C-alpha cells in the first residue's frame, strides 16, 4: 500500500484522532516554549541579567532549533512521524524540567540550547503526520488546527506562568510544564499508528542530493520568505512580556492578559488562513493565489500595522495593534506549510525542515536585535521598524515562490 492510498483510506475516526493529537501537541509545544518569556522578569532579577544576556538566552533555543530542523525532518521522512515526534517530545520535556535546575547565565544558555535541539522538527513532523493521514483537500485546514493549538498554548502560557511564578517560583513552574509533554507522549504512542506499508517506498530509499536541496531556487525563496515569519513571531515569543512591562509600563497583572491578547488575535488568523488557502485552491485551482498572493498580502498588512505600533503614543492602542499585526501575519502560515507539501511530496519533512531552519535563523536574530536595541540604543521603537522592513522583503519573496515546481532532490 502506498502512502497516498493510505491517506485516502484513513478512517474518519483516525483523522479525528490525528487532529486532536496535533492540536494538543501544539498547545504543549508553545506552553513550554513561551514559559521562558513569561518567567524571564523573575529569572533576570535572580541572576542579574542584562537585556543583551536575556536576548542570548532567548536565541540559544532558536539557534539550536534551526540547526536541527532538517535532520529531524529527515528522520520523520525516514522512520515516520510516530517515532520522530515521540523522541522530540521526550527530549524537550526533559530539558524543560532541567531549566528549573540552572544556576546562572551560562547554565541557562546551555540548557535552552539543548532544549531547542530537542524540540527541532516538531512542526515538520506534524506536517508529515498530516500528509500521511489527510487528503490533499483537507491539509490546509488540518495544519490550521495545529496552529490554533499553538495560539492557545501561547495565550495560556502567560496566564499560567505569571501566577505560578508568584505562587511557587519559576523553577517548579518549569518542572510542571515539562511533565505535560511526557503525558502527551504516552498518549501519542498509544493512539497514533503509521500508515501500513510492507516496505519503504522506492523514493524513501533514495539518497537525498543535499547540494541540490540547498541550492534549489524555489526552496531558497520558500526558506527566505519564512525567515520574515519567524523573525516577527519571535518578538511575541520572547520579548512581548518585557516590552509591555518596561516599555509600556503595564502592571504584572495587566501584562499577563495583554501578553495573551495577540495570541488570541492570532487564532483568528491561523484559522482564517487555513480556510482561505484551501478555499481559494479549490474554487480557482490557482495555487499561486492560494499560497503566494495570500502570503504576500498578510505580510504587507502586518508590516503596515507594526509601523503604527512604533509610532502610537497610547499604550493600550499599541497592545491592541500588536494583536492585529500578529493576526495578519498568522493568516500566512497555513499557506507556507501547504507550499512545503505542494513542492515536497514524499520529502515533505525535509522540505518543511529546510523552510523552518531558515525561518528560525530569523527567529534567533530577532531577540538579539531587540536586546541590543534596548541595551545599547535605548530604543523600543527601532525593533518594530526592523520587523516591518523584513516583512516587506518577505512579501516580495512570497511572490517569487512557485507552488507548482516540485523538488527533485534524490540522487
The grid coordinates listed for 260 are 495573551
The grid coordinates listed for 375 are 541595551
CATH fold of 3-398 reads Growth Hormone; Chain: A; (1.20.1250)
pLDDT at 1: 36
- Cα angle value 126/407/140 (rounded, 5°): 35
DSSP state of 101: T
The count of other CB atoms within 10 Å of the CB of residue 90 is 16
DSSP notation for 264-304: HHHHHHHHHHHHHHHHHHHHH--HIIIIIIHHHHHHHHHHH
Residue with cell 517530545: 89
Residue with cell 531549566: 99
The count of other CB atoms within 10 Å of the CB of residue 141 is 19
> What 3-state DSSP class applies to 361?
helix
> What 3-state DSSP class applies to 208?
strand
DSSP notation for 309-327: HHH---HHHHHHHHHHHHH
Angstrom distance (rounded) from CA 275 to CA 295? 13
pLDDT at 5: 42
Query: Distances from the Cα of 52 to the Cαs of 57, 249, 361, 375, 376, in angstroms?
Result: 9, 20, 18, 6, 9
pTM over 0.85: no
The grid coordinates listed for 48 are 542579574
| Residues 162/60, Cβ–Cβ less than 8 Å | no
What burial class does residue 392 get, using C-beta atoms within 10 Å of its C-beta: 0-12 exposed, 13-18 middle, 19+ buried?
middle
pLDDT at 342: 86
Angstrom distance (rounded) from CA 92 to CA 304? 36
Backbone angles phi, psi at 410, to 5 degrees: -90, 155
pLDDT at 177: 94
Angstrom distance (rounded) from CA 332 to CA 276? 10
The grid coordinates listed for 201 are 517506498
The count of other CB atoms within 10 Å of the CB of residue 3 is 17
DSSP notation for 35-79: HHHHHHHHHHHHHT--HHHHHHHHHHHHHHHHHTHHHHHHHHHHH
Alpha helix (H) residue ranges in 120-251: 122-133, 139-168, 170-191, 202-205, 210-215, 217-234, 240-242
pLDDT at 75: 79
The count of other CB atoms within 10 Å of the CB of residue 283 is 10
pLDDT at 193: 81
> What 3-state DSSP class applies to 410?
strand
Task: Report which of 62, 63, 26, 73 is spatially closest to residue 355, judged by C-alpha positions.
Answer: 73
DSSP state of 248: S
Residue with cell 499553538: 150
Angstrom distance (rounded) from CA 307 to CA 131? 37
- The residue extents of the domains of the chain are 3-398
Residues 73-91 pLDDT 10s = 777 777 888 888 999 999 9
- The low-confidence residues of the chain, meaning pLDDT below 70, are 1-12, 136-137, 139-140, 195-209, 346, 349, 408-411
| Residues 294/332, Cβ–Cβ less than 8 Å | yes
Amino acid at each position: 500500500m502506498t502512502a497516498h492510498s493510505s491517506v485516502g483510506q484513513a478512517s474518519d475516526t483516525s483523522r479525528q484522532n490525528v487532529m486532536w493529537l496535533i492540536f494538543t501537541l501544539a498547545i504543549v509545544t508553545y506552553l513550554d516554549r513561551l514559559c521562558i518569556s513569561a518567567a524571564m522578569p523573575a529569572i533576570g532579577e535572580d541572576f542579574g541579567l542584562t537585556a543583551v544576556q536575556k536576548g542570548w538566552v532567548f536565541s540559544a533555543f532558536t539557534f539550536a532549533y534551526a540547526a536541527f530542523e532538517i535532520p529531524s525532518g529527515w528522520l520523520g521522512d525516514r522512520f515516520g512521524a510516530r517515532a520522530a515526534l515521540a523522541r522530540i517530545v521526550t527530549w524537550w520535556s526533559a530539558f524543560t524540567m532541567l531549566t528549573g535546575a540552572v544556576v546562572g547565565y551560562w547554565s541557562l544558555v546551555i540548557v535552552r540550547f539543548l532544549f531547542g535541539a530537542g524540540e527541532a522538527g516538531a512542526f515538520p513532523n506534524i506536517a508529515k503526520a498530516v500528509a500521511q493521514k489527510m487528503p490533499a483537500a483537507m491539509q490546509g485546514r488540518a495544519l490550521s488546527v495545529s496552529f490554533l493549538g499553538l495560539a492557545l498554548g501561547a495565550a495560556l502560557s502567560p496566564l499560567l506562568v505569571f501566577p505560578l511564578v508568584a505562587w511557587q517560583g519559576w523553577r517548579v513552574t518549569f518542572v510542571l510544564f515539562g511533565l505535560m509533554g511526557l503525558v502527551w507522549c504516552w498518549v501519542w504512542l498509544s493512539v497514533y499508528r503509521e500508515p501500513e506499508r510492507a516496505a519503504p517506498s522506492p523514493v524513501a530509499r533514495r539518497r537525498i542530493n543535499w547540494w541540490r536541496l540547498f541550492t534549489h531556487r524555489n526552496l531558497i525563496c520558500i526558506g527566505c520568505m519564512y525567515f520574515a515569519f519567524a523573525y516577527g513571531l519571535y518578538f511575541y515569543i520572547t520579548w512581548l512580556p518585557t516590552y509591555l512591562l518596561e516599555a509600556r509600563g503595564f502592571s504584572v497583572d495587566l501584562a499577563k492578559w495583554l501578553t495573551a491578547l495577540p495570541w488570541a488575535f492570532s487564532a483568528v488568523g491561523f484559522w482564517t488562513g487555513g480556510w482561505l488557502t484551501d478555499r481559494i485552491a479549490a474554487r480557482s485551482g490557482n495555487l499561486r493565489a492560494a499560497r503566494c498572493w495570500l502570503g504576500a498580502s498578510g505580510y504587507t498588512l502586518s508590516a503596515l500595522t507594526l509601523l503604527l505600533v512604533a509610532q502610537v503614543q497610547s499604550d493600550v492602542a499599541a497592545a491592541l495593534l500588536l494583536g492585529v499585526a500578529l493576526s495578519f501575519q498568522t493568516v500566512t502560515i497555513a499557506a507556507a506549510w501547504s507550499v512545503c507539501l505542494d513542492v515536497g511530496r514524499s520529502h515533505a519533512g525535509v522540505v518543511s525542515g529546510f523552510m523552518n531552519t531558515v525561518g528560525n535563523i530569523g527567529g534567533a536574530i530577532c531577540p538579539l536585535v531587540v536586546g541590543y536595541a534596548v541595551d545599547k540604543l535605548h530604543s523600543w521603537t527601532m525593533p518594530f521598524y526592523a520587523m516591518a522592513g523584513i516583512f516587506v522583503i518577505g512579501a516580495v519573496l512570497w511572490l517569487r515562490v512557485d507552488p507548482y515546481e516540485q523538488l527533485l532532490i534524490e540522487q
